[in-house]
């Protein structure tokens, strides 16, 4: 069953997904299609209830609109969130049901991997829908798992942000990484290669400890990671990592990580500014994945992805410099810049 809900708040539209037999239960939130079809990954997570799932979908979709706009992509913003069934479930049936829902939207939404989903899941979606990326790539073409591109963009952004905020390169700095999934682990490997010292935390002890053994990273509990003695804090797990409590504990002078929606509430941006903590806005630094997804969907090659991902760090540097010059939070400045891009496209369309 696919139920289209009333428009929640302009320009947001939300589609309710439900198929009891397939185990499908979730939402597709479409925030904007001004620049192109709404694009954003599909997240599979154990939400406590559908209210939380809907809220996550709406926040993530808005973030994708801003991310795609600042990355210069011909895409709007959208996101799918699916509630993970309890116990054993038929993954193929679930993602084929999801794929049929995506196809029913007729290109209004383009999906790909996100937290809890994989290339294999997107292949099941692709068996019933054309509007999917993150598939195995042909030689020289864009495609495949987008997480390495996300990690690359975050790493290069962190390098320029450290030069700006701390006046030095990453070598010898201590980075506290919250979350060691695909992107977080890749980022840790890049940081270790650059000579940084790592402190890591993850709710999956086996995953965390494997990475620690390889890289020699110090391990702390998830609840302690924000307050460790570090130069940089890198949230790479789920959203909301920055709240009044965690910001109050931070010893790091720079926050730069891969997680979406790092600010629990918008006013956290002002709190970081007040404490003199530099913040590289999440949707600017983590755009590498959607850049790869966009190139794949548009039939571009890996060289196009390289060029666009290489532009992320200079964009972050310019954003941090502008925010400092104006005495404002980089989060506020980034939002304004993205809104200007979308508004400009709306004026052209009118």
Residues belonging to the active site: 79
| Distance in angstroms (rounded) separating the CA atoms of residues 176 and 198 | 6
Beta-strand ranges (E) seen in the chain are 2-4, 13-19, 24-32, 38-39, 42-45, 76-83, 109-110, 174-178, 197-201, 218-219, 232-235, 254-255, 278-279
Number of helices (H) and strands (E) in the chain: give both, helices first.
Answer: 13, 13
Give DSSP secondary structure letters for 169-228. -STT-EEEEE--SHHHHHHHHHHHHTT-EEEEE-S-HHHHHHHHHHHT-EE--GGGGGGS
Q: List residues bridging with 76 in a β-sheet.
A: 38
Residues 162 and 173 sit within 8 Å (Cβ to Cβ):
yes
> Rg of the chain's alpha carbons, rounded to an integer?
19
């Amino acid at each position: 069953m696919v139920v289209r809900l009333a428009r929640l708040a302009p320009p947001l539209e939300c589609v309710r997904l439900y198929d009891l037999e397939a185990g499908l239960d979730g939402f597709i939130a479409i925030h904007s299609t001004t620049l192109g079809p709404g694009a954003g990954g599909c997240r599979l997570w154990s939400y406590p209830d559908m209210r939380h799932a809907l809220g996550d979908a709406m926040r993530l979709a808005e973030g994708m609109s801003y991310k795609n706009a600042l990355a210069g992509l011909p895409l709007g913003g959208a996101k799918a969130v699916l509630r993970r069934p309890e116990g054993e479930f038929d993954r193929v049936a679930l993602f084929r049901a999801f794929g049929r829902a995506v196809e029913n939207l007729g290109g209004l939404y383009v999906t790909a991997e996100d937290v809890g989903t994989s290339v294999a899941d997107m292949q099941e979606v692709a068996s019933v829908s054309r509007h999917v990326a993150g598939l195995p790539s042909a030689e020289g073409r864009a495609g495949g798992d987008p997480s390495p591109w996300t990690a690359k963009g975050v790493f290069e952004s962190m390098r320029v942000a450290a030069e700006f905020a701390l006046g030095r390169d990453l070598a010898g700095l201590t980075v506290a990484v919250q979350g060691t999934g695909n992107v977080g682990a890749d980022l840790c490997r890049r940081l270790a290669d650059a000579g940084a010292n790592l402190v890591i935390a993850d709710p999956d002890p086996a995953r965390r400890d494997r990475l620690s053994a390889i890289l020699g990273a110090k391990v702390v509990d998830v609840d302690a990671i924000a307050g460790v003695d570090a130069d940089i804090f890198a949230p790479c797990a789920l959203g909301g990592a920055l709240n009044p409590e965690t910001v109050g504990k931070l010893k790091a002078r720079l926050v730069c990580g891969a997680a979406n929606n790092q600010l629990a509430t918008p006013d956290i941006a002002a709190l970081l500014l007040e404490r003199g903590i530099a913040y590289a806005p999440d949707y600017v630094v983590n755009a590498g994945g959607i850049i790869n997804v966009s190139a794949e969907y548009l039939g571009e090659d890996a060289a196009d992805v390289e060029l666009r991902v290489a532009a992320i760090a200079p964009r972050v540097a310019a954003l941090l410099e502008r925010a400092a010059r104006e005495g404002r939070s980089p989060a506020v400045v980034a939002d304004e810049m993205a809104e200007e891009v979308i508004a400009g496209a709306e004026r052209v369309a009118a």
